[in-house]
Structure 1
Amino acid sequence: MTNEMTFVRCDGFGGPEVLKPGRRPVPEPAAGEILVEVAAAGVNRPDVLQRLGAYPPPPGAPDWPGLEIAGTVAAVGEGAGRFKPGDRVMGLVAGGGYAEYAVVAESNALPVPEGISLEEAACIPETFFTVWHNVFQRGGLKQGESFLVHGGTSGIGTTAIQLARAFGARVFATAGSDDKCRAAESLGAALCVNYRNGDFVEPLREAAGGRGIDVILDMVGGDYTNRNLKLAAEDGRIVQIAFLNGPKAEIDLALIMTKRLTLTGSTLRARPVAFKAGVARELEAKVWPLVADGGVRPLIEARYRLDQAAEAHRHMDEDHIGKIVLTT
């Protein structure tokens, strides 16, 4: 194994052009960690925020981007015994995924099912961990309930639609074009509303039988917040995971009180390794069978080489559906 690797650094903060290839030593796995020779790394919206200087890595994490990787185990640290060199794995990392090698807490790594490519596997951890925790753990989505995801053709959105439908929910979405709405509906949404054509509240309420939506996953924030409260069913749960329209909103507290709503949210990157390990075990037990049989798969729109990370981010900044992946 080589002693040096190519990685992608941020040369300051700003547009995609600040992403530049560099060379640095290959990291060594500490106790409980594995070193992965990276075949592919997913590109996610938090990577863009880090590039802009708005989402710094947590203490102790690598300072270059990348939150999800897939590849083969190259070495194992002391006490790491589940995986061995040569095993195909995917993993959730707090940073450092844009590189030829990455260190992953073994408890935050998962085996790659047969029939899944390493490129597909690299597009799973960040979105699947996020959706599972926020929709099913925090939101408590149950079979037979209704579910809405805003941004239905994002990486999170395409994952949420597939998982919610697989677990027996009636799924709805919003998106910013008719083509995107058709894509969301092809993945399993009963209805996707183009928010550029007008407000989504009444069309979705009517589609849900007039009673509103049980669980709403929102990445928009801002003026969507009060609309989510209006659209939510009694005892509904609204889960906030981003705020593309801004972090502040004026809300009607009476809606929360009279409909007994829960408005919650979370971030994932800075959560402890042990917390993420718990999510990983639930995913492996409950979702991995669906991944293995092809019932749920990441939707990859584009692939770029690692040294084309700037181009991948330009694509992310523009229109896209599903996931973008870097390959080494």
Structure 2
Amino acid sequence: MSQRQTALLVTEIGQHLSKATRPIPEPKDGEVLVKITVAGLNPHDAKSRDDGLSIKGSLPAVLASDITGHVVRVGPNVTHFKQGDHIFGQALLAITRPPGYTDAELATLPTNLVTAAVALFDSTGLNIPSPLDTTALKFNYEEASILIVGGGSNTGRFAIQLAAITGIGKIIVVASLNGEADLKALGATHVIDRTNPGTHIAADVKSIVGDDSIYALDTINAPEDQYIGVEALSNTKTGKFARLRPRGPVDESKLSAKKPLGFETLNILGASNVRTATSVPLWERVSGLVAEGKIKPTSFKVIKGLDLDKANMTLDGYSNGALSGQWQVHI
């Protein structure tokens, strides 16, 4: 095996990736070395390149934490994996690959699925009792509702599936009506046209659940448009608003009226190694949920090989809003 490898690296925050060689690391205690076959790029990777999200102080850095590949070397005290195992996961936490799906399909899961789970179940998110937690026995899922703004996004689609697995009674999604049948097949109970004005969306939500909406997740909007989810929250209860884009406060000037009891804004970090209370139980069940068809991979687009220009163009597209979804580097 060569002692060096080619990689696309962030060497300076705010600048394009560069291509260089770097040493192949030796796995340490509890680590495995994986030869990557697919690496998934997501919008947060553009934030890492442009703003230093999660990588400040650790340059040069490699992006793309959604991976599939083969274990080629095992470090000391590793018991779950052996050389040759086919795995997928989120960089620092992986599991054996379940049958029936391609590497590319499985690489759509890690970050977006974990982010959705953190948004719904983690104490830093909406804190809906996870069905894996004993406290869930005391929670009336059937009477609960959740609003997912951006239900057609990859994270939104996984949030729908997790909410459906959990048994939440009303899963209300704001998305394009072109995908309504698909979103309902994933578990959405209601789909509201995303082109409606924010106040109309809120009125539609209230026509479904009355003034009882206390859980809202926005997977796509910047702060200036996050009022849409907040507008739909209850006026007689304190609601929780989870968001994936936390730059600045929600623009409350766009609300039709102030929320009398206020609302809690929750910034979501979908990192398995940071949100272990939620991610570890999830990863223990992912293979089974995928095999049972309860968690379905999402769509993706392909970059063949370590194409520096295409990788930078993809990250630029995330940054300026021209691109969405997952782009994968196939090696």
- TM-score, structure 2 as length reference: 0.78
Distance 1:276 1:87 in 2: 25
Counterpart of 1:324? 327
Change (3 A) 1:73 1:278: farther
Which residues of structure 2 form unaligned runs of 5+? 130-140
Distance 1:125 1:62 in 2: 23
Counterpart of 2:44? 46
Counterpart of 2:104? 119
Counterpart among 122, 127, 133 of residue 140 in structure 1: 127
Counterpart of 2:69? 71
Q: Which has the larger displacement, 161-170 or 29-38?
A: 161-170
Residue type of the partner of 2:269? Answer: T
Counterpart of 2:132? none
Q: Deviations over 1:59-93 (max 9, x none)?
A: 55861211221111111222222111111222323
Matches within 5 A, 1:28-177: 28-57=26-55, 59-60=57-58, 63-93=61-91, 104=92, 108-137=93-122, 138-141=125-128, 143-144=141-142, 145-169=144-168, 170-175=170-175, 177=176
Between the two proteins, the alignment pairs up a number of residues equal to 303
- Give how far 1:235 is off: 5.2
Counterpart of 2:138? none
Matches within 5 A, 1:1-328: 1-10=1-10, 12=12, 18-57=16-55, 59-60=57-58, 63-93=61-91, 104=92, 108-137=93-122, 138-141=125-128, 143-144=141-142, 145-169=144-168, 170-175=170-175, 177-179=176-178, 183-199=182-198, 200-206=201-207, 208-219=208-219, 220-233=221-234, 234=237, 236-243=239-246, 246-251=247-252, 255=259, 257=261, 261-269=263-271, 273=273, 275-308=274-307, 309-313=311-315, 316=318, 317-320=321-324, 322-328=325-331
Q: Deviations over 1:194-224 (max 9, x none)?
A: 3333222112222x23234342112435244
Q: Is the 8 A contact 2:118 2:279 kept in 1?
A: no
Q: Secondary structure at the match of 1:153?
A: coil
Distance 2:233 2:94 in 1: 35
Distance 1:148 1:3 in 2: 50
Change (3 A) 1:280 1:266: closer
Distance 2:173 2:18 in 1: 36
Change (3 A) 1:56 1:286: closer
- Give how far 1:135 is off: 0.6
Residue type of the partner of 1:172? Answer: I
Distance 2:14 2:184 in 1: 35
Distance 1:285 1:221 in 2: 33
Change (3 A) 1:197 1:280: closer
Residue type of the partner of 2:128? Answer: L
Change (3 A) 1:265 1:118: same
Structure 1 segments, 4+ long, off by >4 Å, are: 11-15, 58-62, 180-183, 224-227, 250-254, 314-317
Q: Is the 8 A contact 2:217 2:229 kept in 1?
A: no
Residue type of the partner of 2:55? Answer: P
Distance 1:311 1:76 in 2: 35
Residue type of the partner of 2:218? Answer: D
Q: Is the 8 A contact 1:119 1:325 kept in 2?
A: yes
- Give how far 1:128 is off: 1.6
Q: Is the 8 A contact 1:4 1:25 kept in 2?
A: yes
Change (3 A) 1:80 1:185: same
Distance 1:294 1:242 in 2: 30
Change (3 A) 1:283 1:44: same
Distance 1:122 1:80 in 2: 23
Distance 2:97 2:296 in 1: 12
Distance 1:179 1:291 in 2: 26
Which residues of structure 1 form unaligned runs of 5+? 94-103
- Give how far 1:150 is off: 1.9
Q: Is the 8 A contact 2:34 2:71 kept in 1?
A: yes
Residue type of the partner of 1:139? Answer: L
Aligned CA-pair RMSD: 3.0
Q: Is the 8 A contact 2:88 2:107 kept in 1?
A: yes
- TM-score, structure 1 as length reference: 0.79
